Amino acid sequence: MKTDLSPRMKVGLYGLMCVLLIPFVFPTWWMITSSVKPISDIFAFPPDLWPRRFDWSTYAQVFELQPFARQYWNSAYIAAIVTVVTMIISSMAGYAFARIRFPFSNALFMVVLLGLLIPSEVTIVPLFQIFLSWGMINTHWPLILVPIFGAPSVFATFVMRQFFISLPNELEEAARVDGLGRFKIFWTIALPLAKPALGAVAIFTFLHSWNLYLEPIVFLSSTQMFTLPQALTQFTDAYGGAMWNIQLAAATMTAIPVLLVFVVAQKQFVEGLAHTGLKG
């Protein structure tokens, strides 16, 4: 619907979008500014959009009340492993389903797609039992293995398959005439072309792992092993009440790094996601 708009319509559009933006931007703003307000100012009336006084001590308290650095590291390394290995496994499977003819490939693809139908919430009870019998409760293995091999990676495989299907045949045929094997073709020709799809898969997978909540609270029990989402909810006083300024400081620290990466790379970010093969 791209038509040139009249100046009046332009002003109207900008105005409408600024109003619509409030619930998207305001909470993050509130989180950051409140995290440096002294606790007495946090519920000031009327609310302050900018802190009257700055109190940075909450940021130190985050690390005193919990092994927050350790928990940060837990989340970061788990998400990194899950992202890299998912990219490898889903691009290989996606490539095979898209470009290699082999017996039962359609039936096997259906089996894999079943994974999309069965979210890990459905299987959380048996998964708990399986990891219990493997001695992996209160370790990070469930948070790594289930996303990489289970239902969450199926979406990645689906995205990669959609991308590889659209590659022209000629690219690979020349390589085959030269006698290149499948793995060489995949690694040197198809995969480098798949960067946009891989980017989308990386973003989805990273955010999914970073946000996991049900699985950590089911599988982990010691604060040393906690991941960030779980750790954020533990900043409570002796009566179970939330210590708001400390919770918000911790929340800010988990939100800001990803937000910064996003602002710097937002073009690739958004276009990568738009490029997930969902365009029809």
Q: What six digits make up the tokens of 111? A: 């089996």
Question: What is the Cα–Cα distance from 158 to 278, expressed in whole angstroms?
Answer: 10
User: 185-192: long-range contacts (C-beta < 8 A, 24 or more apart)?
Assistant: 186/92, 186/95, 190/95, 190/99, 190/164, 191/91, 191/95
Of 84 and 89, the one with the shorter C-beta distance to other proteins is 89
Helices (H), 38-140: 39-42, 57-65, 68-99, 105-117, 124-133
Q: What is the largest CA-CA distance in the chain?
A: 75
CB of 7 to other proteins, least distance (A): 11
First vs last C-alpha separation in the chain? 19
Shorter beta-carbon distance to other proteins: residue 57 or 124: 124
What minimum distance in Å lies between the beta carbon of 110 and other proteins? Answer: 11
Looking at beta carbons only, is 23 or 192 nearer to other proteins? 23
Q: Cβ of residue 83: shortest distance to other proteins, in angstroms?
A: 14
How many CA atoms lie less than 13 Å away from 59 in the CB half-sphere? 12
Q: Where are the beta strands (DSSP E) in 96-238?
A: none
d(CA 242, CA 239) in angstroms, rounded, equals 9
**Shortest distance in whole angstroms from residue 24 CB to other proteins:** 5
Task: Choose between 171 and 259: whose C-beta lies nearer to other proteins.
Answer: 259
**For other proteins, the closer CB: 61 or 233:** 233
CB of 134 to other proteins, least distance (A): 11
